[in-house]
Amino acid sequence: MKDTRFAKQVLFVNSLVPLTLLLWDVYRHRVGANPLEVVTHTTGMLTLVFLSLTLAVTPARKLLGANWLIKFRRMLGLFAFFHGFLHLTTYVWFDRFFNFKSAVKDVAARTFLAVGMAAFFMMIPLAFTSTNKMVKRLGGKRWNLLHKLVYLSGGLGALHYWMLVKSDTRLPLTFAFVIALLLGFRLFVKYYGDRRAPAGSIVPPS
Ligand code: HEM
């Protein structure tokens, strides 16, 4: 497989660009009258974007016959988790001021928050089992099965977004459509065969 070390470094630096720009804007007070809204919006959006990119790796690998793309999947997934964590932290910190009791009450009272929370919780085992060591420990089959949760997490993330927008639902529906398409591709390959990779071939995440 190709040596992707340099490409990985480029991806890592580029993945940090949106967050850096956001922090810079916050620091320079260039985020308008409601910084909380801007930070919540940006971190939520980045979570969905990275989740979708993670899900796009396998279809792209299969369609292009570019197996080396798999080497970027773990990093993209971890960036999704990282931005999701920042999104949740923004809420707990600046919306609830670390009052965990009030956060739990609020999440229980507003369905879109509970859906977001479920999406985030599903990312936790995925992040913690993303290492090669954990792939070995769980065994490829079980690891692959567990990591199917990423589709559910992405779907719930899009649903959470759709539930909270008041009028223009085009963007959340686009995310939902993209995630459904990527899942559809995987199911198609599973049931109608994949001529490029032998059935059951397990590709480690790094
Ligand atoms: C995978 C997990 C999640 C994803 C992908 C996600 C994504 C998003 C997106 C795209 C937005 C829209 C931002 C906007 O247009 O203003 C948003 C808003 C929001 N999210 Fe999440 N979210 C996730 C989890 C959570 C969690 C765990 C919480 C807190 C419990 C949360 C709380 C919020 C809040 C408070 C808003 C702003 C609501 C508003 O504008 O009234 N999200 N999220």
pLDDT, tens digit (0-9, with 9 covering 90-100), for 81-117: 999 999 999 999 999 999 999 999 999 999 999 999 9
Q: What is the pTM of this model?
A: 0.91
Question: 138 CA distance to ligand 1 centroid (A)?
Answer: 31
pLDDT at 203: 53
How do residues 8-35 score in pLDDT, each as one tens digit? 999 999 999 999 999 999 999 999 999 9
SS3 155: helix
Among 22, 53, 91, say which to mutate for ligand 1: greatest number of ligand atoms within 8 Å of CB: 91
Nearest Cα to 92, choosing from 79, 109, 105?
105
How do residues 148-201 score in pLDDT, each as one tens digit? 999 999 999 999 999 999 899 999 999 999 999 999 999 999 898 765 555 444
**CB-CB contact of 104 with 97 (8 Å):** no
Greatest Cα pair distance, the chain, in angstroms, is 55
**CB-CB contact of 117 with 156 (8 Å):** no
Question: 117 CA distance to ligand 1 centroid (A)?
Answer: 9
